[in-house]
A and B are shown apart, each in its own frame.
Chain A
Amino acid sequence: MELKLKLYLQESIMQKGHEANAGSTILKGFISPFDAAVVERSSAASIDIAGRVSVDEFSVLTITDDQPEEITPAVERVVADLSGEAGPATAVLCNDLFGKVRRQAAAHNLYYLQPSYGTVSRYGLIPSASSMDQIGILTSNLTDAFMLLTKLAGKDERDGAMYPETAYDYGINSDSHKDKDGTGHTPIRLAFPSNVWAKKADSSACTALFTEQPDRFDIVSCELKYFELFRQVLYILSCAEICNNTNRYDGIKFGYRSPNYKSIGDLYVNSRSEALGLDAKLTIIMGAKVLAQENYTPLYEQAMKIRRLIKEAVNFSDYDVIALPTSLSGEPYEESALHALTALAGLPSITLPEGGGIQLIANSKREDLLYRAWEVLKV
């Protein structure tokens, strides 16, 4: 089936002949020498790239800004297209490391589809935190986003961290999923972690979405273990990886080079000092700190261990899908905890504006469950 979409790329995704700066002055003027895998696959599916949207520098967490959070360019793009002439839906390919795009999507009546880690090639994605980087889809039409994902996902030999499956269909084309009333399926067991939802002032709008359809959803009680550690673990590990991945911006071969240097040391320090933004610098300093010999065991290694415990504690034999709010306090660092599970455990999710904002998270490579849930909810 032909898919019509206006498809945009965040500036961190490479497109041959176009500047890919990942939102950083240090990559100003860096022209991609090749197409990212997602660009190749889009064009193989006859979907043209409609344009590029800017992005927070290396997708780092914005924590130094006291001003009210501005709308991110990706969300702004889709909102603008929606208010224009009627036409195909808009989608933006993003690397939403800390959940900012997802949080804003829900608040602006948009959707986000985050695929399982290791199912969409990161070839051509400027890396931030390699163990968590994942290209997801921000969109005004979630059904189209699932369709698009079937065209983007599948093993690419050029990305060393992928599952072996060459294609995924998420049950979109299977006949049994066409009966929209859900007969022929056991209800989806949906877990609302009580320790997380307790933090939300009023969650009734969210739960109502599902309790109204008791034959499609079984509400299961659960706790999300270690939730209070999510953001620290996410922050420690992502800072370390971002720090390492940005070593390459040293002013030697490409990107910005300071005109002020007498020695190689000056060249490094001045180029990076002049061209990196404050949040990126903070991230890099934090990353260098947690990897320093004296901190490695108490901080980095400890965070790695907790990451494993977090993954192991998510028990998909008791439930099929976990439901989490998309927003609590509105403070970015705190909010990142809500979006940390997909990053830390590599799980797929959909983010919906319905019920005031909700995200559904499934086990790895179980996007089919998310699709089924969406099919029921959208009716």
Chain B
Amino acid sequence: MNYEVVMGLEVHVELATESKLFCSCSAKFGADANENVCPACAGMPGMPAVTNKRAVELGIAAALVTNSKITEVMSFDKKNYFYPDLPTGYQITQLYAPICTNGSVEIETTAGKKIITLKQIHIEEDAGKLVHDHRTGTTLVDFNRTSVPLTEIVSNPDFRTADEVVAYLEKLRSLLSFAGVSDCKMQEGSMRCDVNISVREAGSSQLGTRTEIKNMNSLKAIVRAIEYESQRHIDALSTGSEVLVQETRRWDDNKGETFSMRGKENATDYRYFPNPELMPVRIDAAWIEAVRNELPESAADKFARMTGEMGLSEYDSRIITGSKNLSAIFDETLRFFNRPKDVVNWINGELLSIAGGDNKGSDDINIDCERFARLIGLVDSNTINRTIGKELLVKVLKDGIDPEAYIAEHQLGNITDTGFLEQLADEALAENEPSVKEYLEGNQKVIGFLVGQIMRKAEKKADPKAVNELVQKKLSALH
């Protein structure tokens, strides 16, 4: 029998606001435990919630880039449950009037293009983090994440393959990161994913029993979990080895299998009700237009501009537009050195290989673009040669050096004294008579060797092209 896997996704994305959703604490990642906490987000009484307007604007931006229908008057609801990482005992979320509904995202896989439809996007607050100390058997709570704004993007059950899921997550990441909605860093937990999965006989219009795999934050894990879970469903259906129940499961990446969460957690009644502390938020056409006008360029538009008016290759443009961070570095560097082809070559050639050597991805590079641009300019103007340029790029990236100052201090500039270069060339020719002889016998290849000898004498501080010309000139004079 043929089976069809049916999946829907719930993707949590952290909104890129400066402050939390209902108080003014910093929402930044990576602070020390309980550094970004105030009485409000620690759940103390007497601090009414106040909606962060920026979070709503980022929600509107998310709605716009997913072609969603924006709710005229959105409101927040309260979801009640007890857990030590939730200091108020309720999560503020949206159930009855989420910020937008009925969106769509186009994806592309090897099987072609497909539209994934979205049920809704809603805004909610994150919970804190429990830290278990197994030595002492104690559990500590870190409230830094408490009340950090998230959006949850809920798709319809439109997915049939893991490939589609991956393509969708990558597309979402591109749409949302370019719109400035979120940095979408899975490894930092700013993008997480729940997969709802069921299996049915191919051709059936009925959905099978659904299980939900919660809280995954790497594409690899998601693909493996989908493969495992769909196989578990197919085995259950085809052999009757187990009875599938609707439940929430977790993925154990070490064992490579999903396991059922406690029954209790599946049966919770969250007692949702409209949040009486917060006034509904009216989102009028003028506000939507204002957000639309401030939307940064999308990856697709940037790709079109790079391959079009900038005349760059599709290959190079795809690398740059594959990462919001690289795109930002590209744009910022262009502001100071407006030669797209050169900048792309430096980013895709040198910068990425240096970062790759340090195990850093495109999203983790952090460089002073003004200094980067000046460095490119220095190589372009032959003030230093490319080899030294690459070495200096490492220092700009890691130590933030000022290129001109560093060159002056370490005397790395190209030798501009042509008399001195000629003297070095004469010395090299004199020291390598066998090579010169070979050249005269018709072997052109020795030119490279001779250039290398001169560069070595110049401690690499010469323009290889100029040295090459000089050698050619000297040798042809010997004929």
Contacts and interface: CB of A to CB of B under 8 A. Distances in A.
Interface in A262-279: 264, 268
B173 to A, nearest CB: 32
Q: Return the 9 tightest CB-CB contacts between A and B, nearest first.
A: A247-B89, A131-B276, A291-B271, A160-B50, A126-B45, A130-B276, A130-B277, A159-B48, A124-B46
Interface string A13-55: 0100000101000010000111010000000000000000000
Contact of A296 (B22, B49, B78, B273): B273
19 contacts: A20-B45, A122-B48, A123-B47, A127-B48, A157-B50, A158-B47, A158-B48, A160-B22, A161-B279, A245-B45, A247-B90, A250-B82, A252-B87, A253-B141, A291-B80, A291-B271, A292-B269, A296-B272, A304-B274
B45 A253 contact: no
Contacts of B88: 247-248
Contact of B44 (A254, A268, A288, A300): A254
A33 B44 contact: yes
Contacts of A288: 271
Interface string B167-201: 00000000000000000000000000000000000
Contacts of B90: 244, 247
B43 A248 contact: yes
Nearest to B87: A253
B39 interface: yes
Contacts of A123: 46-48
Contact of B51 (A160, A240, A244): A160
Size category, A interface: 35 or more
A244 B273 contact: yes
A130 B88 CA distance: 14
Interface string B260-274: 000000000101111
Contacts of B48: 122-123, 127, 130, 158-161
B46 A14 contact: yes
A245 B277 CA distance: 10
Interface in B121-171: 141
Contacts of A247: 80, 82, 88-90
B84 interface: yes
B277 A160 contact: yes
Interface residues of B, number: 30
A123 B46 CA distance: 6
B50 A244 contact: no
A370 interface: no
B281 to A, nearest CB: 10
A161 B278 contact: yes
Given A22-B45, A160-B22, A250-B82, 10 more contacts: A130-B277, A131-B276, A158-B47, A159-B48, A160-B49, A161-B48, A244-B90, A252-B87, A253-B43, A253-B44
B42 interface: yes
Interface in B31-56: 39, 42-51
Contacts of A127: 45-46, 48, 277
A93 interface: no
B269 A33 contact: no
Contacts of B84: 250, 252, 264
Interface string A155-167: 0011111000000
B44 A161 contact: no
A290 B256 CA distance: 43
A101 interface: no
Contacts of B43: 248, 253
A373 interface: no
Most buried by B among A122, A161, A300: A161
Nearest to B50: A160
A36 B44 CA distance: 13
Contact of B276 (A124, A129, A159, A254): A129
Contacts of A22: 45
Nearest to B275: A130
B36 to A, nearest CB: 16
Interface in A101-135: 122-127, 129-131
B279 A160 contact: yes
A160 B87 contact: no
B49 A241 contact: no
A293 interface: yes
Interface string A293-313: 100100010001000000000
B278 A244 contact: no
Contacts of A124: 46-47
Nearest to A13: B46
Contacts of B50: 157-160
Contacts of A129: 276
Contacts of B276: 129-131, 161, 241
A122 B253 CA distance: 47
Contacts of A159: 48, 50
A191 to B, nearest CB: 28
Contacts of B51: 160
Nearest to A156: B48
Interface string A348-362: 000000000000000
A244 B78 contact: yes
A32 B80 contact: no
A161 B279 CA distance: 6
Given A34-B39, A248-B89, A268 B80 contact: no
A34 B49 CA distance: 16
A209 to B, nearest CB: 36
Interface string A229-262: 0000000000011001101101011100000000
Nearest to A34: B39
A126 B89 CA distance: 15
Nearest to B81: A247
B46 A36 contact: yes
A125 B277 CA distance: 13
A80 to B, nearest CB: 27
A309 B80 CA distance: 27
Most buried by B among A160, A240, A254, A291: A160
Interface in B342-357: none
A247 B91 CA distance: 11
Given A129-B276, A160-B51, A161-B278, A244 B45 contact: no
A22 B44 CA distance: 13
A161 B50 CA distance: 8
A14 B44 CA distance: 11
Contacts of B47: 123-124, 158
Contacts of A157: 50
Contacts of B45: 20, 22, 27, 126-127, 245, 248
